[in-house]
Structures are given as C-alpha cells and as structure tokens.
Structure 1
C-alpha cells in the first residue's frame, strides 16, 4: 500500500487525490487542509457580495464528508503544516484551536498549499472593517461587516480588486480604488486600460491612481474610518486589501526543494520537484509559459486543476505532462469583458522581443445590427517573423470568444498572418464576415 499525502484541500490537491482514488485501489490518501472547507470555487467569491451568487454553499464542489465517506480519503481539516522532513518522509504540523502536534508519514507527497493574500505592513491593518478576499470565511466576514457602510476603499487594481469594486458598487456602496501605479489592470497595456478607467468612472467608482497607502485610520472604536495615502485621505468604513498573493511554502525550508525568489515551488512537466517523492501543483507552483519559454507563476484555477490532475497521475506511476500556459485570463468589470492572452506590449519589451502591435476598434457582431457593440482588439507580434505573441480584447460582448481563438493560436505557435486564414463561424447575428481578430490582423503594417 502506497501512502500519499497531499498538503492542500482545494483545486490542485483534490484533483490529484481523485486521480489517485480512481487509479490506485490500494492507495492510502491523507489530505491536510489548513481551513475547514474543501474544493470550493474561489473565483466566485466576489459575486456573493454583489448577489450574482446567492450563497457561498453554491461554490462548494464537494464537501469534506463526500471525500471521506464516498472516496475513502482521510480528509483532515484545520491541519496546518509547519515543516516537512524530506529524509524521514514525514509531514509535521498542528491541528485545531489547541494546536495539537501531528505527524504523517508518506511515500509520495504533493505540495498543493496555494497562496495567501499579501497584506502590506501598514499601520491599521488590524482594524475592524479591513478585509482580504481568499476564502469562504473571508466573504462571510465581509457580508457581516457591510451594515452601515457607505464608503469602501479597494486597495489594488488587479483581478480581485476590480471584481470586488464592481460587486460593492452593485449593492450601492461608494467605491474608491487606490492603485500605486498610473493605471488599473497592469496586465493590460496602457491604451487598453483606458477603456477600464472609462468604465469605472461611468459607474461612479473613484480612481486614486499613483497613490501610495501610508496607513489606515481608526474612528476611535477600533473600526477603520479612512485610508491615508501620500496624497490625502480616502473615506472608508470598509477596506479590501487586494495587493497580490504569496505562495504558502514556508514549511518547505530545509527540505532542499527549489523555489523561485518569490516562494513558488519549481516543478518540471511531470509536476516533480527536485526532491525525490515530492511533487507540487497549483497556485504554489510554477507553470511553464509557452511564449516566454520559461517558468512563470500565474496562479489561476484553470492551471491548478490541470496541474493537480497531472500530479496525481504521475504520483501513481502513470506518466503525463503539463503542456504549459500562454497567459490567458478574463474577467468582467461592470458592462465590459476584459480578456488577455500571451504577452502584453510591456512584457514583450521586458523580455527583449522585437515586436510590433496593431490595434483596431470593431464590433462584436455585424455592424449593421442594432445591438452590435464596440470591440477593442490589440495584437502583439514578433516584428521579425510575424509570430503572434499576445492579444487583448475588451468590449461589452464577444471578447470571450475572441480571446479563446487567440489563446489557441498562441498554443500552436501561429503567426499573425495565419489568423487571416482561420475558418471562423460567420452569420450576421454572431460575427462580421471578417472576425474582429482577422480585421485587426489585416491592419498589420
């Protein structure tokens, strides 16, 4: 009997566990989850605030009892791992409120411990009303804390910040977004971010760009009342800190497992680390970027589920490889869909790719239809050989379809001229005779 231990009970960890269950009838599987909930859709959390998702229970794919009773997994909750002894093949930690020590031995170990929100060391982050967004309990705390809130500050203009700003605005809260850079959504290029700024202003969201947070101030009762920046005071009885994430990998110190300078575990295509018997997958691990041709760290649920499945197969001796990512992401921001894949102009420049860009404003369907909507498309391509490097699409409708075409093209190393030859679906209610990405490709110099 092989002993499998998995640290982390969410996307990557339980995807791996299910592969082991289905393919190794003699497996002894122990999963160690620091929280109390297994297998939930983290990406759906902001939409509970706005009401698009009725309650957090709807985000749980399988509860812990299902893993225990139906699949025979020793699925433990409130088990925090503190260190791994790679020589003895043991995992050590504490469990419960009493922090009772535990030790679990393994033959094969998967690190699927995810990431946690990065909370800067600002004075006042301990005040009531200051929140992060990562777990179901986080959302419960926010909803319980909304009574009487008229103004909220969202610190950070990335994915989580934008989604939380939208959903707080949906329930009538005045929202102020504070971003230390000169624009929101730095994963998009500056010319594309302008559309995001317009949308924010159209929905009454205050933008505080190029501002550094200095502290969070107390109203005298222990509750936050404002955010102090280097340019003034922002009123807020509720603060969402969305300033990035940090891998949960401190417990690997001393194991010899190789990590990036930011703490993500380096893995090969088989999800193996450099230490025999230890695998890693999901948000705490690296992903090979097919366009950059090097390891990257882009923590998303899509990668976590794929990497977890592949890790589980390799742990049972059924070889499978992770084919890599191309950097695809999408989110809704009020009436706009924001989508990107591959390299932005800024990333191409940072990697010293010789590149050109082409931008086009089109419509999501045939332009003569009354319900057509503007669609903004930007393509980044290699100026030497024309290879497609990336794309960004923003509009009210149709961005999702186009970004998936571009992601597929990137995966298969197509060049910008190949886009013009694609046999894409056409009928006036669905598209123009030339798809917007083809129209954009045709504008190449």
Structure 2
C-alpha cells in the first residue's frame, strides 16, 4: 500500500468511526460501516492503523478497549479498572492501600484517568480526552511523583521478598546478589503446546508453564488473549478473550480462558455465568473455557466480575460445541443457558433471567401485587409462542431499561388457562405474593 492509499484509507476510517459515533444511522448503515472497518483492519496490519483500531474498539466496546490498553502499559498491575460511575471508581481506588489508576468513562462521554499518587492521598484527575491524551497526562504525573511501580518493579520486589523470607533457612547471611525477576515467559524454557496459534504473547506466565499464545482459534473466530489486571488472575493464568472479527459478541458476553493446560481446554466443559450488579440486576453473560471443575469456575468467574463491582448469580456447564453454536446472539445464548446448560451452582434465591423483549408486559388479569425488589421474579405464562405476564407489574415498574429479568415460567400445555389462574388468584390473600401464587398454581397442576 503506497502513501496515497494509506492516507485515503485512514481518512475513510476516520469518517466511518465519526459517523458511528456522532450520526444517527440506520441499522443497515451501522452494519455496513462496521463491516467495512473490519475489512480495512483485515487488510492493514501496520502500526499506522493501531490508533484507528483503538478508537474503534473504544467506540464499540469501551470496557474491553480500556483493559486492552491498560494491559499494554508498564503499569497494568496498578490498574484498578474501567468505570462508568464516579462513585464506584472512588470506592475501588480508595479501597486499595497502594497507588493505582483507573479509567472513568460515563456513557456518551470522553475519558478520564484517576490516579492515587500515594496511600491516603486524594485522587489526581486528568482532563477529559482520549486514551492517548489521558495516558500522556498519567506519564507526566509519574515523572513528577514517581508514584506507580512498574510491572517489572513489582515482580522484582515480590521476588526479593520471597528470597529474603527463604534466606534464614538457606544461610545465616542474607543473600548479596540482586534477585532475578520471579516470572519468566521465555519460550525456550518450555515446550509449546499443540494448538492453533499465530504467535507468542508477552503476557505474564509463571514458573515453567507453557507460554501463552497471542492468538487462539475458537471455531470460526480468531481470539486474541489479554492478561487481566489483577495479580491473582495472572497467577492463575486467567485471560480475557477478544474476538476482533466479531465485536458484537462482547456486547452480551465476556469470554475467559484458563490457560493451565492449553492442549486440553476443548475436552473440558464450558461454563456460563450470569453477571449481576450489586442490586442483583443482570449485566451480561460470562463464558469461561478451560476450568478444571465447577468450584474453580465459580472462583474465576467471581474474580473476573469483581473488578467491575459485579458478582455472579449462577453457573451452568455445557459442551463447547453446542455453546459455540449459540454464542453469536444474545437471545440464543439466553436460550442455551436456560434450556441446554446444566446448573452446577447458584446464589440463594436465584431465578434464571429472560430477555426483556421476549415478554408481552401487559397483564391479562388485574389484581394487587406485593411490593417488588430487584430479586423478585416475574411469573410468566407461555402460550402459542408468546410469553405473557401473570404477576410482575411492580417488578417491571422498578426499571424499564433492564435487558433481562428474573423469572418463573409456566406453560399452557400443562393444562393451564387464564380462567383457572384467575380463580387461583381469587383464593389468595391480597396483595398477592409472587412465590405464593406460583406455588398455588403448581399445586393445582399436580392435583
């Protein structure tokens, strides 16, 4: 590609990204623009396009872009996360005793970096800007305060502390030599695993474990591996997976890979977790590959979700083959999780989630309901390929913007009718509790 072609392609990229960000496009125009951007990235893997690629990632999946960007810096182990709310960011920064930094990115706003220069100090805050502008500000603060330890310094300090702790058992004299870093990713130290990969990664790996590849083939997708910011996640060889060829998947599912045995992950069950916020409202699914067992999967899912102040409501397992066929769309992933996957763990009071647009929200039978909380399930009836609300008016009124709601589902094929449900409701104390109503209907069916 000559200089003129590069200039024209960069201009086209700028125009496409600007239109996606600032213009009201039709669904067809959005899809066409994203398709053209992917075509350009596939053709042009040169450094000159890296900034445009980052700008596109920041637009389509800002959280993934923030973690990818932070992971590429020498201060990734001091990174506290990506936040869209100021209060959550403050809580995360001030909860840690050491210096740290984080991205703030409210919806439809630009970016800020918040930096804690020393324990007990209030945060320093950058001006609003892009990744590069905010990070340039961070480097200026680092020059002035020297507050952040680099990844190499943190590893060297940990190695020195471990060596000092072991020294009394080895010799009456403390060691004189400068300790080597404890973590080493030299490919010569270990035999590469047998899997499809396009190149080595600079991600941290421990001991004599096989080096983690930069790319991994997942069915029809090429996944890029990113180290997570938490030291515990790095120690456990837990990596986030990004699918550059299918960025839409990241809108409804986070993907993780446990890299302990890279040549055997496909033979292990895949796990699907439902991520929820502190109020118990659904955020998105989490897909974990390569976990040894369900207990490890729960720990790793919680470790990943905790960086966003989220938790998991349930964990289910399924084979990678059927899961991969359902991964592309949010609706098919919900269906797979609720109908095909096997439940292995769930929080107390858990109810599976159903997408909001699956539901016909107008109640057929009008009656008073008990007050609802975020954990209160909708009681639904499926009939003639439609799902209608029996009980849930108050739950829906809590928030009309949730993408999925906890639910209990009954089926018309079990012999239920609206007249029957109405007679059952008439026999209950008013206002009606959803769990009492569900139990009464189930009792009627069983009789």
**TM-score scaled by length of structure 1:** 0.28
More helix as a share of residues = 2
* Structure with max Cα Rg: 2
More strand as a share of residues = 1
**TM-score scaled by length of structure 2:** 0.28
